[in-house]
Amino acid sequence: MNKKLVSHAITTARTIVLAVGLICVSIALADNKSDALKQRILAQSQSIGPDDYAFTRTVQSEQTSNGKTEQHVNVEKFDPTKSGDARWTLVSVDGAPPSADALSRYKNDSAKRRVPGYYRLAKYFGTPAAASTDSRGRTVFHFDSLPKDTAIVFDSDVSANTAAEVSVTEANGTPFAEHVHLTVRPMRLKLIMKLEHYESTARYRLGPEGKPLLVEHTADMTGSGLGQEGRVHMVVTYSDYRAVRN
């Protein structure tokens, strides 16, 4: 074989080996960076608890069933310095003071009312996830399913059937999960209802104490049961945050 051809082949092979090595190093560095960021978000969410803040929650809902649409706006307050049922207060229903029946139903549901907040991401980030980068340069963590009791729809645990995408951004030098998007695969709930579609998005911002606060949560779902089909659209906003624990 021609010596020049042999030399060229050897040089080409070395170049390919070097390029593959550099690619492997780049992938390893990227994996290490995303793993470090994942651990940082985990520690951040673990440092926050459900009783850190009092807040006001406004729930706007639009529900359509068999061609009939109902719209409602409820305003609630949460105060973790109070005890028992008094932690949650129903302030108004459709712009008016709640009736005695509405207050009674609200009180009866208090035991299963979950406190929303950034702290709930700790369960997500304690499980395996893939990572990518979106068009804005944010790291996005992808969870194929969620741990038990982290995603509840109509009082049913749909966590194992729920995928999550969590987009991480940075503000004032602090990385935090800015958007959390959940998608539930079609499934049956309590044997009598079929959930056809469910997706939701939660949006967070950094508060004055440097901790992420839930700003808005939107959800859309469609399903059927007992011979009826329905659709629900909800927009939940959070305001009047007051730190009660550092």
What pLDDT digit, counting tens, does each position of 98-151 carry?
A: 999 999 999 998 888 999 999 999 999 999 999 999 999 999 999 999 999 999
Measure Cα distances from 234 to 36, 59, 94, 218 in Å: 35, 7, 14, 6
Q: Which phi and psi angles does 241 have, rounded to 5°?
A: -65, 135
pLDDT-derived band at 19 (thresholds 50, 70, 90) equals very low
**Mean pLDDT score, 37-65:** 96
pLDDT-derived band at 67 (thresholds 50, 70, 90) equals confident
Q: Is the entire prediction scored with pTM above 0.75?
A: yes
pLDDT of residue 54: 97
In this predicted model, what pLDDT tens digit does every residue of 141-195 receive, in sequence order? 999 999 999 999 988 999 999 999 999 999 988 999 999 999 999 999 887 889 9
What is the domain partition of the chain in residue ranges?
40-243
- Which range has the worst mean pLDDT, 47-61, 91-105, 225-239? 225-239
Q: How does strand 228-243 pair with strand 53-65?
A: antiparallel
What DSSP string runs through 147-211?
-TTS-EETTEE-GGGEEEEEEEEEETTEEEEEEEEEEEPSEEETTTEEEEEEEEEEEEEE-TTS-
